[in-house]
Amino acid sequence: MSIEFKGRVAIVTGAGGGLGRQHALALAARGAKVVVNDLGGARDGSGGSVSAAQAVVDEIRAAGGEAIANGASVTDFEAVQAMVQQAVDAWGRVDILVNNAGILRDKSFAKMELADFKLVMDVHLMGAVNCTKAVWALMNEQKYGRIVMTTSSSGLYGNFGQSNYGAAKMALVGLMQTLSIEGAKNNIRVNCLAPTAATRMTEDLMPAEVLEALKPEGVVPAMLVLAAQDAPTRAILCAGAGSFEAAHITLTQGAYIGIAPDAPEELVARMAEVTDREGEQVPMSGSAQGTVEIGKAMAAAKAL
Ligand code: NAD
């Protein structure tokens, strides 16, 4: 089964370089009309120019595809709304949103200024919120939408010096979890992509031979699958160097301990049982955790 995007309109944020550029090129090569968004700033988010986005648009057009450039910052909701309008004016719809734009302001938490924490949250989390909010009504009306949030192993598992980045990236998983539930009735599928790739974002974080193996092209297939008509929803797909994995937020079977005064001591005594990963599950929604817990308590009460 071939994955193609003929007639689809995609917005890829932060597509002037790195992963976003490859995402935009791949979507266009498979038939999508693409809004190539990029602020065109430095890795830490300073500066800006539309020329980075325009260069990718030129590349797509030279290959026979359709694309338009946009230099909005994803942090500016009005500019993001204008970007969505730009796509609608040109092509009448928006089918795919790849929230990819991002910056780094790494420092250990002890040394990090709150301003750097807030800026990273603003670009990654609020940037994705702004872009998603700007297409949400349209996708609901169309009864079609595919949204990819770019999360990170730093968010899923942590990384020294990236408390701001990791917090923002894990927040995107939470955003995806709820939007995939809210979007389901109108065929809006929302997923997370956790990439590993050699880009300017990682060039000084990994050794040269590792960077060589980590071309952004090794991530792109996962984005295409998450943006496709037959995309899953609520997946966290990890991708790097052509390898693919899925991450899950799981719940162990746990144990019913009750609320007697000695419950904390009992909990310590049975911690191995509570944390045992055998039979762990992925709840269908947040409220499912409560349902599981009440079920165990009621079963314990019945057994008395
Ligand atoms: P990159 O720096 O090459 O690309 C990020 C792009 O986002 C840049 O072109 C930048 O100009 C643009 N951008 C930054 N702020 C923006 C804003 N406010 N509005 C619009 N555009 C903006 O880095 P990359 O590695 O290609 O990163 C792409 C995404 O993948 C990011 O979300 C990043 O956090 C994520 N990611 C990358 C890796 C990796 O290994 N490279 C790992 C995990 C997650």
Helix (H, G, I), strand (E, B) or coil at 129: helix
In this prediction the ipTM stands at: 0.99
Per-residue confidence in pLDDT tens, the chain, 304 aa:
789 999 999 999 999 999 999 999 999 999 999 999 999 888 888 888 889 999 999 999 999 999 999 999 999 999 999 999 999 999 999 999 999 999 999 999 999 999 999 999 999 999 999 999 999 999 999 999 999 999 999 999 999 999 999 999 999 999 999 999 999 999 999 999 999 999 888 888 788 888 889 999 999 999 999 999 999 999 999 999 999 999 999 999 999 999 999 999 999 999 999 999 999 999 999 999 999 999 999 999 998 8
Q: How high is the pLDDT of residue 204?
A: 84
Q: Which of 144, 157, 165, 256 is catalytic?
A: 165
Q: Where are the alpha helices (DSSP H) in the chain?
A: 18-29, 51-62, 77-91, 114-121, 127-142, 153-157, 163-183, 208-213, 220-227, 263-269, 271-275, 286-303
CA dihedral 169→158→218→197, nearest 10 degrees, is 90
CA distance 76 to 214: 32
**Token pair of 181, please?**
């539930």
- The response to whether residue 198 sits with its C-beta less than 6 Å from ligand 1 reads no
Per the annotation, the verdict on 157 as an active-site residue is: no
Please give the distance, rounded to the nearest whole angstrom, from the Cα atom of residue 103 to the centre of ligand 1.
6
The preferred substitution site among 12, 13, 38, 243 for testing ligand 1, maximizing ligand atoms within 8 Å of CB, is 38
Q: How high is the pLDDT of residue 264?
A: 98
Tell whether the torsion through CA atoms of 216, 129, 182 and 137 is positive or negative: negative
Q: Which atom of ligand 1 is nearest to the CA of 43?
A: 2
Cβ–Cβ < 8 Å for 95, 8: yes
Q: Is the pTM of this model over 0.90?
A: yes
- The response to whether residue 73 sits with its C-beta less than 6 Å from ligand 1 reads yes
| Residue keyed to tokens 């597509």 | 15
Please give the distance, rounded to the nearest whole angstrom, from the Cα atom of residue 274 to the centre of ligand 1.
38
- The response to whether residue 32 sits with its C-beta less than 6 Å from ligand 1 reads no
Q: Which atom of ligand 1 is nearest to the CA of 200?
A: 3
Q: Which atom of ligand 1 is nearest to the CA of 197?
A: 40
Q: Which atom of ligand 1 is nearest to the CA of 74?
A: 19
- Which is nearest to 22 in space by CA: 194, 199, 152? 199
Nearest residue (by CA) to ligand 1, atom 4, is 18
- The response to whether residue 218 sits with its C-beta less than 6 Å from ligand 1 reads no
Nearest residue (by CA) to ligand 1, atom 19, is 73
Q: How high is the pLDDT of residue 42?
A: 84
Please give the distance, rounded to the nearest whole angstrom, from the Cα atom of residue 277 to the centre of ligand 1.
34
DSSP strand pairing (33-37 vs 9-12): parallel
Q: Strand order in 33-37's β-sheet?
A: 67-70, 33-37, 9-12, 96-99, 145-150, 188-196, 236-240, 243-246
- The response to whether residue 38 sits with its C-beta less than 6 Å from ligand 1 reads yes
